[in-house]
Structure 1
Amino acid sequence: MSEKNLIYSILYDYYGDLLKDNQSNIIDLYYNQDLSLSEIAEDMNISRQGVHDALKKAEKSLMEYEDKMKLHYKYDTYQKAAENIIKLCSTIDDVKYKDTVDYIIKEAGKIINEG
């Protein structure tokens, strides 16, 4: 799956419930189920062009939701920050800070595993 396709699949996880039912269904079938536009059109008994138009509208809506709410951006930022904290902690080798470093790593790990 290309990075562009992956982003729509990810954004669908965040905002899919905000889409119209047919748009949500089309995004899911196209990006998560890997059906072609023609297959979706046949399944939904609409034209391929209708599927294409609904898909483009849904993609636009998902990007607009992300632009406004930034849920994925925040998640990604927190992930990277937590990974950096763990990396930095691994450079501390003073025995007297071992318990504190272990605790910080554990807490940063919780952030990473929340996703």
Structure 2
Amino acid sequence: MELNEMLEVSILLDYYSNLLSERQKEYLLEHFEGDQSLTEIGKKYNITRQAVYDNIKRGIKILRDYEEKIGFYKRDLELLKQLKDLKKDFKIEKLEEIIEKNF
């Protein structure tokens, strides 16, 4: 898995981890944030490395499906872009437009 993909999964975990099963959440957090190998996770939970891998793959798919349907991360990226643009050229009208559009 590439660094960009790992970063994406880590961010999506911040948004949607509570929507995963408890086990998927644990495996994903331990693997992506705890930097544990599949083997280490498997030993901890007394399951095979393959079972950990399958659960992580399913968990990643679920996270991406949630983002596709709900779009919190995409929304926040757009808001961040708008705020950075506002910072470069602040006008009260632009601020009001951002507030109106997003809230």
- Which category of TM-score, normalised to the shorter sequence, fits these structures? 0.7 to 0.9
State how far apart, in whole Å, the 1-side matches of 2:80 and 2:55 are: 32
State how far apart, in whole Å, the 2-side matches of 1:88 and 1:29 are: 42
After superposition, give the CA deviation of every residue in 1:56-115 in whole Å (9 maximum; x if it has no partner).
Answer: 0000000000000000000011001100111123xx8xxxxxxx6xxx5xxx9xxxxxxx
Q: Which position in structure 2 is the counterpart of 1:68?
A: 69
**Any runs of at least 4 consecutive aligned residues in structure 1 with deviations exceeding 6 A, and if so which?**
none
State how far apart, in whole Å, the 1-side matches of 2:46 and 2:29 are: 17
Q: Which position in structure 1 is the counterpart of 2:14?
A: 13
TM-score, normalising length from structure 2? 0.85
Q: CA deviation at 1:52?
A: 0.3
Matched, 1:85 2:90: no
Structure 1: 5+ residue stretches without partners: 93-99, 109-115
- Quote the RMSD (CA, aligned, Å): 2.1
- Structure label with greater radius of gyration: 1
Identity %: 31
